[in-house]
């Protein structure tokens, strides 16, 4: 499965569910309390993060998609903090406020990156379901995906009404389910229970085959479009009628904290589907996103650059010889991290000291060096029918091994102008006795504000001279 970065700027998602504030108190511990055998934490930092459905909306916005959030809060300081943090990142919020009930707050006491204590401040909300439905109906126009983020805290009580409102408008419905009655999500496009939630409904699964059988029966019974079971260290399983099961292995390199991982999965799925990605790709991207977030402390969102870099790593295009589509992804990722892209090109038929020195000088002009290499037919047209000495795959393999070179790509034309238009490097570098105006592609690069630089050549270093010397001997 080939993954690319979705166009999240074209995605719009409505999230409805249980919003909460995740509050963290951080501090050091150096002694045990004289009052009880517990550590004393000297609180040095207090941090608020959106949690629950608010974390889902935050993850969607962090990927670059448009997010609207509908939920229920109290009328208190926690609600104000939550609203401010969400609106600061461009999330539209519509909170039903209930004066005599507290906003749900989960307070975690942390020391040395370890959670020592969690305290929950909550009561099930007496939600006005009619007002929630009316708000949802007003916000559905222009939305591509509706997410029901259900933590069982009372904001969602009329699940079927909300599902049907969206389906009537042709809007995809995703649900992160809770409880022991999944019939309330009947007709949803996709639900995303974790394994324990799934087994609480269908019973213990002792094998992948049993999970698939029970999962497909649940899909049929509830008229679901699909079922995605998240399985912790065993990855994810996507089940759909008339499709083979898709089992994806977990991608996490190191699990630090699983808090909010389910939120990341459903938010990435929603943003990807709203951006037009096929379901298989959306699930694979959600799997990658989950691998990132479990390496973070506490409730966290992943950013578009983080996901892009994971896609880049998954494609195996961190360095070396690449196809053009891989290279464009690598360049996009580098730019997202503020890196300057340098481009140069040539035949590089027999690598010599002059080439190595020149490429080191070119690499010094920025952060990443793209080296474009003429393919064999192009070299023959430029150098004569007896060239190249080395085929393009061998030339690229040698060049990719140089420390100065980040990426190598081949081209078949006589000039790299089409590559320059696609890559749009920040700096175009050429070696030799040229003026800047004589460098092929200089006009293209300067037209979009890039730089063109000419570097000198190392004396007495030439592939042609090497070939002639060998022939004479």
Binding-site annotation, residues for ATP: 194-197
Cβ–Cβ under 8 Å, residues 163 and 173:
yes
Cα distances from 271 to residues 5, 24, 286, in angstroms, run 11, 28, 10
Could you give the 3-state DSSP secondary structure of residue 196? helix
Cα distances from 226 to residues 145, 162, 199, 241, in angstroms, run 15, 18, 17, 7
User: Among 263, 349, 406, 426, which one carries the catalytic annotation?
Assistant: 263
* Feature table: binding site: 194-197
Cα–Cα distance between 326 and 312 in angstroms, integer?
8
* Residue 70 CB burial class (10 angstroms; 0-12, 13-18, ≥19): buried
Cα–Cα distance between 430 and 356 in angstroms, integer?
14
If you ran DSSP here, which 8-state letter would residue 194 be given? Answer: B
Strands (E) located in 214-349: 227-230, 236-239, 246-248, 320-321, 341-346
Residue 263 a catalytic site member: yes
Element (H, E) at 465: helix 463-472
Residue 367: name the closest of 419, 423, 405 by CA. Answer: 405
Residue 92: name the closest of 128, 29, 143 by CA. Answer: 143
Residue 134: name the closest of 167, 158, 150 by CA. Answer: 158
Residues identified as active-site: 263
């Amino acid at each position: 499965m080939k993954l690319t970065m979705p166009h999240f700027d074209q995605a719009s998602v409505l999230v409805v569910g249980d919003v909460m504030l995740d509050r963290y108190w951080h501090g050091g511990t150096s002694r045990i309390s004289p009052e009880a055998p517990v550590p004393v934490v000297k609180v040095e930092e207090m941090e608020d993060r959106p949690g629950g459905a608010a974390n889902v909306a935050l993850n969607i916005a962090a990927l670059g998609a448009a997010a609207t959030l509908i939920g229920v809060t109290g009328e208190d300081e926690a609600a104000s903090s939550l609203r401010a943090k969400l609106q600061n990142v461009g999330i539209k919020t519509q909170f039903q406020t209930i004066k005599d009930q507290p906003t749900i707050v989960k307070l975690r006491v942390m020391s040395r990156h370890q959670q020592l204590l969690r305290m929950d401040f909550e009561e099930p909300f007496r939600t006005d379901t009619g007002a929630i439905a009316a708000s949802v109906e007003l916000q559905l126009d222009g939305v591509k995906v509706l997410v029901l983020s259900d933590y069982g805290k009372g904001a969602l009580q009329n699940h079927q009404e909300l599902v049907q409102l969206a389906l009537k408008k042709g809007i995809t419905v995703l649900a992160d389910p809770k409880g022991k009655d999944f019939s309330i999500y009947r007709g949803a496009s996709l639900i995303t229970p974790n394994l324990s939630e799934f087994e609480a409904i269908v019973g213990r699964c002792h094998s992948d085959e049993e999970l698939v059988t029970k999962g497909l029966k649940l899909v049929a019974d509830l008229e679901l479009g699909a079922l995605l079971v998240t399985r912790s260290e065993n990855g994810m399983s996507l089940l759909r009628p008339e499709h083979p099961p898709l089992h994806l292995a977990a991608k996490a390199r190191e699990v630090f904290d699983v808090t909010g991982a389910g939120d990341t999965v459903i938010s990435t799925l929603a943003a990807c589907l709203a951006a037009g990605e096929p379901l298989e790709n959306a699930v694979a991207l959600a799997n990658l996103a989950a691998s990132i977030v479990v390496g973070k402390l506490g409730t966290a969102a992943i950013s578009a650059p983080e996901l892009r870099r994971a896609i880049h790593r998954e494609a195996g295009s961190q360095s070396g010889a690449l196809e053009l589509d891989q290279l464009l992804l690598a360049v996009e990722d580098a730019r997202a991290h503020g890196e300057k892209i340098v481009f140069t090109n040539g035949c590089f038929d027999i690598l010599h000291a002059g080439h190595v020195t020149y490429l080191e000088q070119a690499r010094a002009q920025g952060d990443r060096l793209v080296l474009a290499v003429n393919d064999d037919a192009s070299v023959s047209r430029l150098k004569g029918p007896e060239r190249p000495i080395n085929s393009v795959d061998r030339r690229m393999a040698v060049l990719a091994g140089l420390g100065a070179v980040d990426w190598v790509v081949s081209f078949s034309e006589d000039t790299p102008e089409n590559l320059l238009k696609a890559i749009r490097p920040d700096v175009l570098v050429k070696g030799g006795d040229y003026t800047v105006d004589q460098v092929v592609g200089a006009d293209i690069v300067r037209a979009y504000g890039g730089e063109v630089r000419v570097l000198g050549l190392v004396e007495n270093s030439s592939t042609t001279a090497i070939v002639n010397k060998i022939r004479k001997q």
